[in-house]
Amino acid sequence: MKRYFLFILTFVLAIHSGFANEKLTKFFGDVDSFLKKYTQEGRVDYEAIKKNLTNAQQLYEAIGTMDLSGTTEDERKAFYLNAYNMVVIYQVAKYYPLKSAMDQSGFFDKVKHRIAGEQLTLNALEIIKIMRQFGDARIHFALACAANGCPPLADFAYAPNQIDTQLQQRTRESLNNDNFIQVQSSSRKVNVSMIFKWYAKDFIKEKPNIITYINQFRDNKIPENFELGYYEYDWGLNIQ
């Protein structure tokens, strides 16, 4: 009798896991289609999303009900990255027109969203669920903050079976971008995004200093003795 109940329990759990995996796979595909439709060269067509908000709202609601039990690390990593980006896009579109996400009070640090059954702000999602769990500094080049100063948003969803390659690609693109990494050879200086100041501990955990971290992804290396500076962050909306 005991073995019978164990068999039934195992069978039920297997069915539940199968449904959960199917739902997660569908979510990745739906986000991919959404981003391909509304994102171009890192910029988002918030006006078009606003006109048909149902699509974004359905993805937002799916994020809240997702079951991550039994998932792999790569599945969770891909889910949380896509979830963060979709919540940002949905929130901007919902309150559009905005000049900046910062115009909406508590956008990142006070407004809570349901993420896989938990109530989290965007800041909590980024710090607790993403950075603390995965400790991968490349994630800073994959998250959308709806700003011109943010690394360009990808026009595809992050997928579990490609996550490492995708993060490597996004990081290389950002760190070889002359607007994002501003090298001034004549004055022997390099100005970088405030992201490297705000999240310095994430980068120097992997490399001894910021320039060394950046150089591992660059085609043209920055001399290690160049002075490091930071340019002002542009919170203007990354609208098409």
Spans of all domains in the chain: 14-162
Q: What average pLDDT score do residues 17-39 get?
A: 88
Model pTM score = 0.89
Of 116 and 19, the structure prediction assigns the larger pLDDT to: 116
Q: Which two tokens stand for residue 128?
A: 């607790």
* H/E element, 189: strand 189-192
- What would the pLDDT profile of 179-228 be if each residue is shown by its tens digit? 999 999 999 999 999 999 999 999 999 899 999 999 999 999 999 999 99
Name 196's Cβ contacts closer than 8 Å, sequence gap at least 6.
203, 210, 214, 230
Report yes or no: 160 and 77 within 8 Å, Cβ to Cβ.
yes
